[in-house]
Structure 1
């Protein structure tokens, strides 16, 4: 059963998503050479608390961090620790919060200083793939339409989508139905209906799509240790088209390209 949100539930999700968007924007400001990922995680905890929210990740299935912070070859689920951020790194922040019982979930990839042209292209392709997928989040379409659009675009650009992790429905719970792979066949999967809220999140690798899990049991890295990028938005399916709930006010005009 895929949850359908209406009325006050949607407004509550808009609030939680607005907060998580502001939170990730504040966290990115401390990303600099020399800071440890543990220090970033602790700062994130402070920012989340300042909004009267809680981390949706801390303790989830035993996860020990307040956010996921993953660097370069780390694809997702990186845990704050002793690793220091260096000039030229790609840093992925995946942030989830709980506000008044509702989840806000978003992820972005940030370059620290100057990165090479292929890294910039990796980020651009991943971000664009997210928007390409979101454009398919329309009443009457199917989950496979989102998945297929993302995969097709990424492959056309010469990169690979990670298949071990997928997007998901989101609301009262961090992970709700339906799962949203970043690969698949158009016209397949559950039909999208008004009021569904989806966390769409392509993870894209420069090299192989294969990943391995480190000894901490959480951190996923690319098998060939090439770099990866990750972007995520929480999206409401409406009669008028997809509404991105995790956009900043200054970025709202970007939403027009998917209607």
Structure 2
């Protein structure tokens, strides 16, 4: 057993198990958004829970429990430059709520295909994936996890990878924030434009529009090929919590169905 320990517990989210469980339950206590069809994928933010936890939770609330066998989780590289897809060779990820088992068979089969390679360093301190795990543990208990840190890659290549991977009982989760460090007025305008493009399944977003542009573009390209539509579930920004209206980060959550 090779375990990737929690790297940002106590920083992006509570580090003690009971406190984390209470916080996730609190975030998931909001009203459940309605969707026109069951979601095949989610797009969720990855800031600290105090900033974007409620927005992410709104997307997880759209999911029925125990419907999925596996979660394919994609996010950007914040701590190490990555080209293509970085895969881990751990068997489990750890959070204060326990361990999440990885789909090691799928990782081994994927290694070397679609510009993917094993790179534990890209995963070791990556928060974009880790902050999703407690929500997955609570809302999708028992699911296998296939985590990918995605760097520079053509959206078509990543879409081909997802088409090969995605089974009817798989859920795709893309972890990304929106604009970064603009004034609140600028952030609101840029995020509104980005949201409109996501709703149109445009797969040419830039990093200044969404920090997870590479995985997001691939997911939107896949969704278009799969005949899915994007639905906005919730949006917000850091100023609503911090009171800092000069250096604002935008957040939004979507369902692909």
TM over 0.5: no
**When you count helix as a share of all residues, which structure comes out higher?**
2
Considering Cα pairs closer than 8 Å and 6+ residues apart, tell me whether 1 or 2 has the greater RCO.
2
TM normalised by structure 2 equals 0.29
TM normalised by structure 1 equals 0.29
